[in-house]
Structure 1
Amino acid sequence: MIGDMQKWTPNVASIIEHAKQFHPTKEVVSRMVSGDIHKTNYEEVCIRARKLASALEKDGYKPGDVIATLALNTYRHLEMYYGISGMGAINHTLNFRLHPEQAVYIINHAEDKIIFCEVPFIPILEGLKDKLVTVEKYIILCDESEMPETGLKNVISYEEYLKDGDEDYSWADVGDDAACALCYTSGTTGNPKGVLYSHKSNILHAQAALTAMSIKPDDSILMVVPLFHVLAWGIPYFGPMFGLKLVMPGMQMEGEPLYDLIDKEDISLAFGVPTIWMGLLAYCRENNKILSSVKNTIIGGSALSLSTLQEFDEVHDVNVIHAWGMTEMSPLGTTNIPTPEMEHMSKEEKYAIQLKQGRPIYGVELKVVDDSGADLPNDGESQGHLMVRGPWILQKYFKAEKDAVDKDGWFDTGDISVLDEDGYMTIKDRAKDVIKSGGEWISSIDLENAAFGHPEVAEACVVGIPHPKWDERPLLFIVTNDGEPIEKESILDFLSSKVAKWWLPDDIIFLKELPHGATGKLQKFELRDEYNNHYMEK
């Protein structure tokens, strides 16, 4: 028997329409590239998003077209989230930190037709334009009077483009499970993989997120997590859905400008990766500042350290909520919100729980399996492969022929984890030697392969080891052709043309030989153990 409820094929633009109707004057605050503060509200964002959708349609763009953004956290990027997806196109967010070769691959693989671009990022696209085979137009995120000279073809300013748009535009009727947004992940070797989200999956994810992170209707959110990275953890959707004030820092992520925004905009809830918060805490420490308005911070992207947790709690009286997820999960999978039981615990007991990645939010199923695929017990000790499934979790990668899940719908996260009897998940290691630095992935194998291309290098090995600021950084081990050290700068100069700058190893160690197992496989764990404190001691 089938239920008698109405069919539901939602468009994410219904969220910004809801915000316009019920939270029209709620502020959206942006620090622009110039450093100036811009203030708007959900009513204006909605109207301008309608104009953008209308302008795109008038320009000949259709549902299913992929339209890219190379943009910062500002009100214009929020408008693009709704204007692009709301007319049925796919909003493809690009990471401005990508190595040029990766950027070219991603833009061409996605078949981007337009790229919306911030003024500071124009030189990036000028260097790539001759290799971009599908891009027809570039829209620069500025006023007409601010348009710079550029070698890009078919260029127009964002504000001029919006002029022809209809502010009474009616949003597109999208089909069931229609595509909405696209992000690429490069957490493994080989070419980056696309994750194509749907309108329905993003709305379900946003609704679940509101219940999973202790969010209150009067919260003011500092959105440090970038809009180009996994849809900013869903904030662009659940913020307007719940009528939350959004504050976006643009390019200025240093401690002083972040503190300034927090103080002036009365921030109560902040989202970001540990690296950013370490900079903010250092600024507060050095200048005797207290985060008096902040009640909670959501930390994800890489593991939370005990020292960061303690400083937030004991110095600033800020509760830290550890969260975990991945691009393939939209991204939220687990959160670690306070429980009544924690109120009666000692700080040491409470901290021990808060350092775990948390418990699954409603809609996400977790399990840990051994190498044969057999379920392992939730005993807090049995380590295995972390598997997930749910309505906002990847079924297959963009344009892939095969599903990325097993026959029962479980997706292998690539993490080695444990689950305890209370349902808390803790990540113990990564199944592959991928390094996570400042919340961003670095492929050790890709870095090794790049180093191996140097004419004096016989063998190369990269491991991620603890770093006091970036959580992990790559350490490169080299065996040269004659077994003798060469200039480190020679290696670094060679690598700089092969990989992104932030992938470059912080140090290079020359060895006579690398440790190999019986089958010839590198024994990375030996190097990791021996040099574990290499960066911490510097």
Structure 2
Amino acid sequence: MLGLMQDTPLTTNWIFTRAQQYFRDKPIATRTVTGIERSTLGDTLTDAQRVAGWLDDVGISPEGRVGTFAWNTARHLALYFAIPGSGRVMHTINIRYFADQLVYTVNHAEDEAVFVDRSLLPLFLQHLPRLETVRHVVVMDDGADAEIPDSDAYDNINIVLWSDVIDHATPMDFSDRVTDERQGAAICYTTGTTGNPKGVFYTHRSTWLHSNATMSSAAFGLAESDRVLPVVPMFHANAWGLAYAAGLAGASMVMPGPDLSPAAIVDLLEQERVTVTAGVPTIWMGMLPLLEGRDLSALRIILCGGSAVPRALSEAYREKVGLPIMQAWGMTETSPIATAAVIRSEVADLDDDGLADIRSMVGLPPPGVELRIVDADTREALPWDGKTSGELEASGPWVARQYYRTDEPGEQFAADGWLRTGDVATVSELGYVRLVDRTKDLVKSGGEWISSVDLENQLMGHPKVAEAAVIAVPHPKWMERPLACVVVKDGEQVTREEVLDFLSQRLSKWQLPDDVVFIDEVPKTSVGKFSKKTLRDRFVDYRLPSA
């Protein structure tokens, strides 16, 4: 027997309507090339309606894909509502992809139009001749002096300015524009798998549910009183959901624009009295030396994800600004929030060291996400005892079940549909997840597995180490042994022997790296994670002293 409750579609237009009715006067600050632009959420939503009308006016297909190639700005936020709100699919193009990856994703998504920040126009135009389906390019002027080509500079491609779109388009009424909450809303591509980037295809329903979850105390508790600065790019898993969540909660927003330098971010945090901010570990590492004398007392959450947060980094923030880093975990495939390191009442009275240990985990899943760890060979579920490790799998209404334009789910998904994350983890009796490593980054030494993540956390606890990554190197006796790639802090000096001695006081002998190499910087992926593939390629022929 079915119940008798109203069946209202959960869509981005529902978020739009709520934001427009209750929060239209909420401020948005966007830093551009020329300074701070101030607007309101209402201004952004009005722009969204005009952009949506323009998509109709120029004949973009009813379910066509529309790309964005842009920084975090109020205009980009308008596109978050305009494109899916009109019934089309937003494709946030990763501006840091290699050329072939970028071209592949645009052609695979079959983008018909792309909105481009003027400061990124020279980069985008390099690829335009190879983009097979793009027929319209809209340039969003962020104060850069990049030359804008004439509208007829490219065959069969219409190039227009954002101002022309906003000034002349008829605003769209979003009422009943999207009636099926299962309709696609956005595509984000991920390079976390083998081969070409894979498209994760979010629905309106998954977007609404994910946004709602971020407002709960099981995640970030995002509220109307917050001022949110997403350092995480809007092309990275939809800015971790913060763009929609802020609109749903009624939070004010601070958009960093093109300058993501540590100095620029800390300026914004202080000047705009930001309460919630989010970014990958490399952002917070770079900011750490700049915190002295800064008033960041408004902050209540420094959210960090993308890769494991070194305990030393989180504790350094607790000491300098009175607030530790809050770790979260997820993937593009999980929209992305799948866990958050909230403190349960059972552990709230632990001492500082105990709480730091809790914060070193990636946390608990919010309502809506189910997790399990399984044996790599048998695929049997493993116990939650905080010791047994296995591959982490996820399921839930905002977790992908298949990649875009594929014939079947494929090896990334278990036989019963759960997402195979590729992370190895333990789970405590209380449900706290601790990441041990990526399956492909574990070091198999003889019959034992060595966690590169544990080694990296210990290395970055050394007072003279800025950052470090650990990779597996072939060994004739042990199959593989760890090699530590270390970046020394500016103005400091440290030797291989000092590093190994530091580790020997914290780890078993068999876990110690066989060698330490010093590098200028750890290479990063397009979303700021450590690129261990690059390091493995660089040291492919490296011979360990013990070999």
Q: TM-score, normalised by structure 1?
A: 0.80
Contact 1:295–1:319 (Cα < 8 Å) also in 2 = no
For 1:266, the equivalent position in structure 2 comes to 273
Which runs of 5 or more structure 1 residues have no equivalent in the other structure?
Answer: 446-460, 471-499, 515-526, 532-538
Distance change >3 Å, CA 463–CA 399, structure 1 → 2: farther
Amino acid in the other structure paired with 2:7: K
C-alpha distance in 2 between matches for 1:233 and 1:396: 20
Contact 1:144–1:157 (Cα < 8 Å) also in 2 = no
Deviation at 1:267, TM superposition (A): 0.8
The 3-state SS of whatever aligns with 2:201 is: strand
For 2:430, the equivalent position in structure 1 comes to 422
1:350-499 pair list within 5 angstroms: 350-370=355-375, 371-404=377-410, 405-433=413-441, 467-468=486-487
C-alpha distance in 1 between matches for 2:481 and 2:92: 29
For 1:38, the equivalent position in structure 2 comes to 37
1:174-185 pair list within 5 angstroms: 174-185=179-190
The 3-state SS of whatever aligns with 1:181 is: strand
Distance change >3 Å, CA 67–CA 305, structure 1 → 2: same
Distance change >3 Å, CA 242–CA 4, structure 1 → 2: same
RMSD: 3.0
C-alpha distance in 2 between matches for 1:66 and 1:289: 43
Contact 1:143–1:159 (Cα < 8 Å) also in 2 = no
Contact 1:140–1:147 (Cα < 8 Å) also in 2 = no
Is 1:84 the counterpart of 2:90? The answer is no
2:242 to 235, 239, 245: 235
Identity of aligned residues (%): 31
C-alpha distance in 2 between matches for 1:400 and 1:254: 38
Deviation at 1:146, TM superposition (A): 7.1
Distance change >3 Å, CA 116–CA 410, structure 1 → 2: same
Distance change >3 Å, CA 256–CA 289, structure 1 → 2: same
The 3-state SS of whatever aligns with 2:168 is: coil
For 2:74, the equivalent position in structure 1 comes to 75
Distance change >3 Å, CA 501–CA 396, structure 1 → 2: closer
For 1:154, the equivalent position in structure 2 comes to 158
Distance change >3 Å, CA 506–CA 365, structure 1 → 2: closer
Contact 2:118–2:142 (Cα < 8 Å) also in 1 = no
C-alpha distance in 1 between matches for 2:199 and 2:72: 21
Deviation at 1:407, TM superposition (A): 3.7
CA deviation profile, 1:203-251 (whole Å, cap 9, x unmatched): 0011111111133331111111110000001111110101001111112
C-alpha distance in 2 between matches for 1:85 and 1:292: 37
Deviation at 1:369, TM superposition (A): 0.6
C-alpha distance in 1 between matches for 2:546 and 2:276: 40
The 3-state SS of whatever aligns with 1:359 is: coil
Contact 1:213–1:321 (Cα < 8 Å) also in 2 = no
Distance change >3 Å, CA 373–CA 105, structure 1 → 2: same
Deviation at 1:406, TM superposition (A): 3.0
Amino acid in the other structure paired with 1:155: I
The 3-state SS of whatever aligns with 2:66 is: strand
Amino acid in the other structure paired with 2:318: D
Distance change >3 Å, CA 72–CA 464, structure 1 → 2: farther
The 3-state SS of whatever aligns with 1:6 is: coil
Amino acid in the other structure paired with 2:379: G
Distance change >3 Å, CA 462–CA 198, structure 1 → 2: farther
C-alpha distance in 1 between matches for 2:534 and 2:83: 35
Contact 1:93–1:228 (Cα < 8 Å) also in 2 = yes
Is 1:173 the counterpart of 2:173? The answer is no
CA deviation profile, 1:440-495 (whole Å, cap 9, x unmatched): xx9x99xxxxxxxxxxxxxxx9998565599xxxxxxxxxxxxxxxxxxxxxxxxx
C-alpha distance in 2 between matches for 1:218 and 1:133: 45
CA deviation profile, 1:164-184 (whole Å, cap 9, x unmatched): 222363341332400000000
Deviation at 1:508, TM superposition (A): 4.4
For 1:15, the equivalent position in structure 2 comes to 15
1:107-186 pair list within 5 angstroms: 107-142=106-141, 148-150=147-149, 152=154, 153-167=157-171, 169-171=173-175, 172-186=177-191
C-alpha distance in 2 between matches for 1:215 and 1:23: 14
C-alpha distance in 2 between matches for 1:206 and 1:29: 21
Deviation at 1:161, TM superposition (A): 1.6
CA deviation profile, 1:390-418 (whole Å, cap 9, x unmatched): 00000100011112533422111011111
Q: TM-score, normalised by structure 2?
A: 0.79
For 1:281, the equivalent position in structure 2 comes to 288
C-alpha distance in 1 between matches for 2:391 and 2:311: 25
C-alpha distance in 1 between matches for 2:161 and 2:143: 6
Shifted more, 179-188 versus 500-509: the winner is 500-509
Amino acid in the other structure paired with 2:283: I
Deviation at 1:292, TM superposition (A): 2.1
Distance change >3 Å, CA 502–CA 48, structure 1 → 2: farther
Deviation at 1:23, TM superposition (A): 1.0
C-alpha distance in 1 between matches for 2:101 and 2:185: 22
For 1:220, the equivalent position in structure 2 comes to 227
Amino acid in the other structure paired with 1:396: Q
Amino acid in the other structure paired with 2:244: Y
The 3-state SS of whatever aligns with 1:416 is: strand
Distance change >3 Å, CA 168–CA 96, structure 1 → 2: closer
1:36-75 pair list within 5 angstroms: 36-75=35-74
C-alpha distance in 1 between matches for 2:282 and 2:195: 27
Contact 1:381–1:418 (Cα < 8 Å) also in 2 = yes
Contact 1:143–1:158 (Cα < 8 Å) also in 2 = no
Contact 1:140–1:155 (Cα < 8 Å) also in 2 = yes
C-alpha distance in 2 between matches for 1:145 and 1:274: 29
Distance change >3 Å, CA 292–CA 506, structure 1 → 2: farther
Name the count of aligned residue pairs: 465
Contact 1:255–1:282 (Cα < 8 Å) also in 2 = no
Shifted more, 180-189 versus 307-316: the winner is 307-316
Distance change >3 Å, CA 258–CA 123, structure 1 → 2: same
For 1:475, the equivalent position in structure 2 comes to none
Distance change >3 Å, CA 62–CA 261, structure 1 → 2: same
Deviation at 1:423, TM superposition (A): 0.5
